Amino acid sequence: MNPQTPSANDRKHWESVHICPKCHHVLNLAEIDLRTITTGIVSCPNCEWSGPIEIQMLDQHRPPE
């Protein structure tokens, strides 16, 4: 029995992000500054919502259309 190796199209690319609970704007962890991470409070650049940061893992792989 040979294990199947996933093809490049089957692999997932995970990113650490914060998703704004108000407008659903996605902020990549690389875009979040040290002050925001230290205080735990993030401001959405899209809608100006402010609140606690919630880091989530998001699959950035999108199948071709």
Residue 46 CA to residue 34 CA, distance in Å, equals 19
Percent of the chain at pLDDT > 90 equals 51
Helix (H) or strand (E) holding 39: helix 34-39
Which of 12, 8, 6 minimizes the C-alpha distance to 60? 12
**Which pLDDT belongs to residue 47?**
96
- List Cα–Cα distances, 12 to 26, 40, 42, in angstroms: 18, 28, 27
Domain boundaries, the chain: 14-59
Write out pLDDT tens, residues 38-59: 999 999 999 999 999 999 998 8
CB 21 within 8 A of CB 34: no
Q: Does the pLDDT at position 10 exceed 70? A: no
Q: What is the pTM of this model?
A: 0.68
Q: How many CB atoms lie within 10 A of CB 27?
A: 20
